[in-house]
Amino acid sequence: MKTMMVSDFCAMKSALVQMAGILAAAGIVMAWAMDTAVGAAAAVGAMAPFMYLFSVGALDEQNGWERFRLTLPLTRRQVVFGRYGSTAVVAVAAAVGGLLVGLLVTAVADAVGNEGGLLAGLSSAQNPPEALVCSVVLTLTVFLVGAAVALPLMARFGMTKATRFVPLVVVLAMVLGIAALDTPLSSGVLAEWGAWVTGDVWHGALLVGGALLVAAVLYGASAFIAARLYEQREF
């Protein structure tokens, strides 16, 4: 697993450095343009791991690397777990990066003290730290769920074929999710749930933490499915 993570980071080193610079700058611009640090932090936290996931998947198919990698003393299970590990590390780092961008933006806005002016929406009063934390944690949650769907498909079909299936699966999941929520019964439950969440700040924190926990469990379970699929694949 360590070998796989090292190889992933070696292959993606320059891209990750570039990505960090570009996304930090993009996050600041987005915060200014959207007049919200919370949204910018979430955007940075979401973009980096998705870019990583698809870039590192594409590198697998370059030069026959995926095939050659299997000649190293690595089990296929280690290959898959290593990929899940490196992706999770990048996702957490991106969440921290997004949070830092948000905090930096609010700190600058507070220091400039532009009340009622151009930077008013970026102040820490409008973007409290707990809101920034919630936004990046929820982004991380969404990413983990997305990766839990995409990675087994990539393990089974390879990046090129998987890109045909991933959007289909995501759209189907969204349609089914909306259909499930769009019933009188679920509307009532959602309304009650919404009231409970907004009733206390700790309820919100519990919801966000719980969602992250569920996503992490899903991500872990997905790793075992992906490993099984990858073990059956021939190159």
Contact residues: other proteins, CB under 8 A: 2-3, 6-7, 10-15, 59, 62-65, 67-76, 231, 234-235
Closest approach, Cβ 98 to other proteins, in A, equals 24
Closest approach, Cβ 106 to other proteins, in A, equals 35
Between the alpha carbon of residue 64 and those of residues 6, 34, 152, 153, 179, the distances in Å are: 18, 43, 20, 19, 42
Please, which residue, 59 or 212, has the CB nearer to other proteins?
A: 59
Please, which residue, 62 or 186, has the CB nearer to other proteins?
A: 62
Please, which residue, 63 or 178, has the CB nearer to other proteins?
A: 63
Closest approach, Cβ 7 to other proteins, in A, equals 5
Closest approach, Cβ 159 to other proteins, in A, equals 13
Please, which residue, 62 or 187, has the CB nearer to other proteins?
A: 62
For the stretch 18-27, contacts whose Cβ atoms lie closer than 8 Å and that sit 24 or more positions apart, written own/partner, are 19/48, 19/51, 19/52, 20/48, 20/97, 23/47, 23/48, 23/94, 23/97, 23/101, 24/97, 24/101, 27/98, 27/101, 27/102, 27/105
Distance CA 220, CA 111 (A): 42
Please, which residue, 8 or 123, has the CB nearer to other proteins?
A: 8
Please, which residue, 1 or 131, has the CB nearer to other proteins?
A: 1
Angle between helices 76-112 and 2-34 (to 10 degrees): 30
Closest approach, Cβ 5 to other proteins, in A, equals 8
Closest approach, Cβ 164 to other proteins, in A, equals 22
CA dihedral 218, 220, 221, 223 (to 10 degrees): 120
Structure token digits, residue 144: 């983990």
